[in-house]
Chains A and B, each alone.
Chain A
Amino acid sequence: MRIPSRPVVFGLLALSIQAAAAAAPSEPTVVAASTINSGDTAWMLTSTALVLLMAIPGLALFYGGMVRKKNVLATLMQTFAITCLVSVLWWLIGYSWAFTPGGPLLGGGGRALFNGMTFIQGPPARLSVSHLASTIPETVYAMFQLTFAVITPALIAGAFADRMKFSAMLVFMAAWSLLVYAPIAHMVWEPSGWLNRAGVLDFAGGTVVHINAGVAGLASCLVLGKRLGYGREAMAPHNLTLTLIGASLLWVGWFGFNAGSAGAADGRAGMAMLATQMATAAAAFSWMFAEWISRGKPSVLGIASGAVAGLVAITPASGFVGPTPAVVIGVVAGFLCFIAATSLKHWLRYDDSLDAFGVHGIGGIVGALLTGVFASKEISGLDGSVLTQLKGVAVTLVYGFAASFVILFLIDKTIGLRVTEEQEREGLDISLHGESIE
Chain B
Amino acid sequence: MKLITAIIKPFKLDDVRQAVSEVGVQGVTVTEVRGFGRQRGHTEIYRGAEYAVEFVPKTKIEIAVVDALVDPVIEALAKAAQTGKVGDGKIFVFELAQVVRIRTGERDAGAI
Contact = CB atoms under 8 A, between A and B. Distances in A.
B95 interface: no
Contacts of B47: 301-302, 305, 341-342, 355
B32 to A, nearest CB: 15
A301 B46 CA distance: 7
B46 A237 contact: yes
Interface in A286-316: 295, 297, 299, 301-302, 305
Interface string A229-255: 000001111000000000000000000
Contact of B45 (A235, A297, A355): A297
Contacts of B51: 234-236
Interface string A201-237: 0000000000000000000000000000000001111
A355 B47 CA distance: 9
B48 A299 contact: no
Nearest to A299: B45
A297 B42 CA distance: 13
A236 B44 contact: yes
Contacts of B102: none
B49 interface: yes
7 contacts: A235-B49, A236-B46, A236-B51, A237-B46, A342-B47, A346-B48, A355-B47
B contact face: mostly helix, strand, loop, or mixed: strand
A341 B44 contact: no
Contacts of A236: 44, 46, 49, 51
A343 interface: yes
A46 B46 CA distance: 35
Interface extent on B, as a size class? under 10
Nearest to A66: B46
A295 B48 contact: yes
B44 A342 contact: no
Interface string B47-91: 111010000000000000000000000000000000000000000
Contacts of B48: 295, 341-343, 346
B44 to A, nearest CB: 6
A235 B47 CA distance: 11
Nearest to A358: B47
In the complex, the 4 A-B pairs of residues with the closest C-beta atoms, listed nearest first: A342-B48, A234-B51, A341-B47, A236-B51
B77 to A, nearest CB: 33
Contacts of B46: 236-237, 299, 301
A302 B47 CA distance: 7
A415 B98 CA distance: 61
A342 B46 CA distance: 8
A343 B51 CA distance: 16
Nearest to B52: A234
A167 to B, nearest CB: 30
A103 B49 CA distance: 46
A299 B51 CA distance: 14
A237 B47 CA distance: 10
Interface in A10-59: none
A295 B44 CA distance: 10
Given A236-B46, A236-B51, A301-B47, 12 more contacts: A234-B51, A235-B49, A237-B46, A299-B45, A299-B46, A302-B47, A305-B47, A341-B47, A342-B47, A342-B48, A343-B48, A346-B48
B14 to A, nearest CB: 25
Contacts of B44: 236
